[in-house]
Amino acid sequence: MAIAIVVLYFMVLVVIGVMAHRRVKGSTDEFFVAGRSLGTFTNSWAFLASLASGGSVLATVGTGLALGWPYGSALLAGAPVGFVVASILVARPLRQLGRYTVPDYFRWRYNSKIIAWTVPIIIVLASSAYIVAQLKGASIVATYVLGVDYRWGLWGAGIAFVLYVAIGGFLSVTWNDIFQGILMVAAVAGFAVAVLTAMDGYGASYNEAMDRFPNLGAFAALPMASYVGALVTWAAAISVTPHVIMRVYSSKDVRSARISLNVAMLIFGAMMLMITFVLTPGAAVLMGDIDLSDPDAVFFALSETVLNPLMQGIIAAAVLAAIMSTTAGLLMACNSAVAHDIYATLLKPDASEKSIVRVAGATTWVIGLIAIVLAMNPPEFLVVLYTAAVGLLAASCFAPMVLGIWWSKATTSGAIAGLLAGSISFAVAFIGFDMPASSEVLIGLPLSIVAMVVVSLVTKPAEHEHESEEDSAPVHV
């Protein structure tokens, strides 16, 4: 039954991808931002599906048992805060700019070749790491549903994901996101009801879960820097995460973009509360011995404990929906960074729309296949890896983005300093030091802000910078 439901799910996605391909027909406006025609309902679910990844749905239960609720709660609190920050600080000015990507804003504001090259490269690196985490989740689903080896599941799911993004672009991703977002929330709600029904009273089950897993409610499970870092990462990252910001560009108007962000925040928060405070203690008390050596597998083990075969199939499809929607958005961020921001803007400004779309499709395959190969040796915790990926984006791009919008004295030299200080310090902290999980942003982001402010104050704007009151004064929202 589970296999049949998952196969049906993939068939629906393929049909949607083919329909979107017929409409795109080599148009960059359709391929990258769905013609800027998406309404509030559509974009609300698309924003949700972009953010609610495999780590959100699949990994939260096992991560909560292994690393404790405080870490999960920091992540849970950070993301909705990030939606509000993005709605207030960046949604209106970016939508009014009317471009395709995050690098578009940086080029318009600072007009620097260094920034024009650096930002797309950072986006590709961070998004690729994020994709690796998502592909691990997809292979877990394939192994659970089909009983195949991890690597077979990885290649099968990965190629399916790449295929439908390459043929249909952002329009395909968006149409699928509506279906995937609704499926995801409905399945999690049904799962939560089943777990509550199976419990012998929530209060007693809560106490039993705390007894069995003392780390569940203990701040001592991780250093305090991990909790603060997780919160700061997601609070800052939403404003610069490319697969989320692209949806601001695709909104039909500014009002729709801002409302969509806030509606998505509410839906995401409700779904994550059910996973964190119902499914996690449910797993602790309803399952026997739990193997936390692979915490990302606990979610499906719980579904086998409390759900019938039909619901297990729906849950598997819902997890795939979470993974696929986020992965698709990340692939779009990568292909737009290469095809639009590097190829069409820097290397061949006279490129035709059809050639740009072809380069985007080829880039999707290259990035996707590289990510599949890297996912052959997966990380232990999905949540930790994809939080590190968005942490790099937050540390490097948040200060140049927000200060560039709201501070008229921000200069190109300051933006370059902030971008490089944030990205390099984050990478050094992550790779070169044994830092607490998710804490690297606490070094990278402050250094980025300080570097940008100091250098901006001691340098003068170049003549080509958009610093006039008309062009770059803060857009009050």
Number of neighbouring beta carbons within 10 Å of residue 291: 11
The CA–CA distances, whole Å, from 264 to 57, 61, 82, 154 equal 15, 22, 11, 29
Q: For the chain, what percentages of helix, strand and coil (3-state, to nearest 5) are there?
A: 80, 0, 15
* Partners of 345 in the β-ladder: none
* Partners of 182 in the β-ladder: none
CA angle 317, 322, 324 (to 5 degrees): 85
30, 182 in Cβ contact below 8 A?
no
Amino acid at 272: M
Measuring CA to CA, which residue among 341, 378, 386 is closest to residue 359?
341
pTM for the model:
0.74
Q: Which tokens in the block code for residue 207?
A: 């106490």
Residues contacting 238, CB < 8 A, separation 6+: 51, 79, 82, 83, 85, 86, 244
Print pLDDT tens along the chain (477 aa): 666 766 676 666 666 666 655 554 544 444 444 444 566 777 777 777 766 766 677 778 887 887 777 877 787 778 778 878 887 888 777 766 665 577 888 888 888 889 989 998 998 888 888 788 778 777 777 777 767 777 787 888 788 777 766 665 555 566 667 777 788 888 889 999 999 999 888 888 888 888 888 777 776 667 888 889 888 988 888 888 777 776 666 666 667 777 887 788 888 888 888 888 899 888 888 887 777 777 777 888 888 888 888 888 888 877 777 777 677 777 877 888 888 888 888 888 888 877 887 888 888 888 888 888 888 776 555 566 677 888 898 999 999 999 998 888 999 999 999 999 999 999 999 888 888 878 899 999 999 999 999 999 998 776 555 543 334 433 333
